Amino acid sequence: MFTSENDDSVGEALPWSSGTPSGGVGQCLDAYDDTSDTLSIEHCRFSYSGETVFIGQDATFSDVQFIQCNVCIEPGDNNVSMNNALVSNCGLLTDGIMELECVNCTFDNCAVAADWDAYFYNCIFSDTGAAAADEGYGSDFTLDGSNNGFYNCPEFGENTFTNTAYPYQAAGAGTYYLADNTFRNAGTAALGELSTKTTYPPIVYSNTTISVATTFSPQAARDTNCTDLGYHYDPLDYVFGGVEAQSNITFTAGTAVGWFDAWSGAAYGIIEDAGVTVSFNGSVVAPCWLARYDTVQESGNGNWTDTGWLSPITCNNPNPYYSPASPQLLMKFTKFSSRNFNDQIRDYSGNFVVSANDCEFYGGIGGYNIQLNFTNCLFFRYAPAVTYSSYASPSLSMQNCTIEQGGMNAFTIQHWGGATWPVSIRDCTFDGTSISMDDYSGGNTNITYCDFNAFLTNADRLAMLGAHDVTNVISFNWQSSWFGNFYLPSDSPLIDAGGITADKVGLYHFTTQVSQVPEGDSIVDIGYHYVATDAYGNPLDTNGDGIPDYLEDANGDGIFDAGDLGEWQISPFGLGGANGLQVFTPLK
């Protein structure tokens, strides 16, 4: 996010901020990539700038937002492509471009210009969005395209769609969700990532109470059929601000949840009362998401501008110590994203119990009176933090986690007043992680246990050194494959270097290898694991019944036992798995 120093809705307010941002002057970003013929700018928001982005070569902008900028792109006679862009209340989209091509973009109250040719497909123009497009450029300028929608501005191109009613609806800080029955299914077939995005708004819960057990499932339709026109948001199915949970809440696989600060200060999305459990039940192909609203919505409409210091989910518990009534947060296959000074999850009042399996955190997590239990989790550029004294009930348990970060914050464990609350960290990877940890256990491994962990050479270590730690790693040399960017190379010293077999920690059907060979019951590899797949990126399904092995074998131990959905090696037709002999006798 690139924004004005006077914009207090994003990040911490600067001491000199006026709190009233407006269109600026000067360049926001001078961009050039001398390693490629084409510059790529993706997933960026630019707000309240003058000459926003200057480019020195051909460029592609994807999934970008320009909000109240004077000139969005200032090129030097270069070609520009824009895919899924939102341009709102800007003076001029481009100035000096040789050729412009835009696909699924929304232009509201913005002039569009190019020196030679401009082509638009599946775009929306509203309130003179295209009226000034060819002004002053003479006969050499071409304005063309197809399947575009228009509201209150001149039309051009082929197969146009005109709407006489305002085509948008707002939800919180997002102004450009499509109104019902407007410009939907009017484009060409769904293109790439657009099929995972939406033009439908979230349902907002603000300053309210949920008093009965409630299940939330995806409701903002993803664009999987004929493409809707215009800009597509990353989906948010629901957004919460200042909501009190007096009863259990469950989010099913694939549900995307947002949150906002309902006020300044100790603001939260959901606060759990004593005895309440909130569950996120994602899957590897349909993870749940929990994200602050501004990681999706463009802001700038005056909504949700308060900023607080708490978190999207916290607790309201009168008991400072652990008890059966302590609020619980249970998560599996869930991803978290937030700004850099908000914890994703933290305690507020009393003890809070948090358990996460197979989750990814792109933001901080921690607190004072919180019990954190992580199994097979990834922390990207942020690390957990637990700090408290003995009169509360904090604890930290980490099994097969990877913390990849270079200084956004330190991995922090502080026992105030010589407290001895428990810490267990095993089979985890620390990649360039700053560590601030004390230990008052006196070497008692029943209180503090740290072993079979991996560190870069000469990097920070945990307070209790493990006899089996791997410490001679120059680079982890992460690899990319179907589900992420933290697979291990085949010659990694972390392979088979853990302190337990993989089936004992629920990782039988998981892998760290690009080859997708499952761990099985081998010695567990150190660090974060992904679900093993076939050659096409589908989770392994040994018996071919349509239910992946990792789901059928619910506890991931490779054995059919209580709680499992089925015997993952036995087909529903009674035949064996991959090694079974199948005999077919024709009827006579």
561-587, pLDDT tens digit by residue? 888 888 888 877 655 555 545 555 555
From 25, 587, 2, 49, select the one nearest 294 (Cα to Cα). 2
Average pLDDT over residues 18-25: 77
pLDDT at site 181 = 85
- Cβ–Cβ < 8 Å for 250, 281: yes
Q: What is the gyration radius of the CA atoms in the chain, in angstroms?
A: 26
How many Cβ atoms are within 10 Å of 266's Cβ, its own excluded? Answer: 14
Taking the C-alpha atoms of residue 437 and residue 403, their distance in angstroms, rounded to an integer, is 15
Q: What does each C-alpha distance from 429 to 192, 476, 477 come to in angstroms?
A: 34, 9, 13
Taking the C-alpha atoms of residue 192 and residue 76, their distance in angstroms, rounded to an integer, is 30
Given CA atoms 263, 264, 270, 272 in this order, what sign does their dihedral have?
negative
User: 504-514, pLDDT tens digit by residue?
Assistant: 999 999 999 99
The one-character DSSP state at 376 is S
Q: Residue 217's pLDDT band (boundaries 50, 70, 90)?
A: very high
Mean residue pLDDT of the chain comes to 87
293 phi and psi angles, rounded to 5 deg: -55, -35
| Residue 141 in this model has a pLDDT that exceeds 80 | no
Q: What does each C-alpha distance from 367 to 279, 297, 386, 388 come to in angstroms?
A: 19, 28, 5, 8
pLDDT at site 243 = 97
Most confident of 95-99, 111-115, 435-439, 549-553: 549-553
DSSP-derived secondary structure for 534-561? -TTSPBP-TT-SSS-HHHHSTT-SSS--
User: 272-319, pLDDT tens digit by residue?
Assistant: 999 999 999 999 999 999 999 999 999 888 899 888 888 899 999 887
The one-character DSSP state at 420 is -
Q: What residues contact residue 8 under an 8 Å CB cut-off, 6+ apart?
A: 17, 19, 305, 307
Q: Residue 76's pLDDT band (boundaries 50, 70, 90)?
A: low
220 phi and psi angles, rounded to 5 deg: -85, 105
pLDDT at site 342 = 65
Q: Encoding tokens for residue 128?
A: 């003179």
Most confident of 410-424, 484-498, 547-561: 484-498
For the chain, the first-to-last Cα distance in angstroms comes to 71
SS (H, E, C) 174-210: EEEEECCCCCCCCCCECCHHHHHCECCCCEEEECCEE
pLDDT at site 79 = 85
The residues with which 268 forms a beta bridge, in sequence order, are 311
Taking the C-alpha atoms of residue 516 and residue 509, their distance in angstroms, rounded to an integer, is 10
Q: What residues contact residue 36 under an 8 Å CB cut-off, 6+ apart?
A: none
pLDDT at site 131 = 38
Exposure of 102 by Cβ count < 10 A (0-12 exposed, 13-18 middle, 19+ buried)? buried
Greater confidence (524 vs 545) lies with 524
| Residue 349 in this model has a pLDDT that exceeds 70 | yes
Greater confidence (323 vs 145) lies with 145
Task: Name the percent of the chain lying above pLDDT 70.
Answer: 90
SS3 category, 2: strand
- Cβ–Cβ < 8 Å for 443, 467: no
Taking the C-alpha atoms of residue 153 and residue 123, their distance in angstroms, rounded to an integer, is 13
Q: Widest CA span of the chain, in angstroms?
A: 90
Q: Residue 138's pLDDT band (boundaries 50, 70, 90)?
A: very low
User: 233-277, pLDDT tens digit by residue?
Assistant: 999 999 999 999 999 999 999 999 999 999 888 899 999 999 999
pLDDT at site 347 = 86
Average pLDDT over residues 47-76: 87
DSSP-derived secondary structure for 385-420? EEEE-TTS--EEEEES-EEE-SSSS-EEEEEGGG--
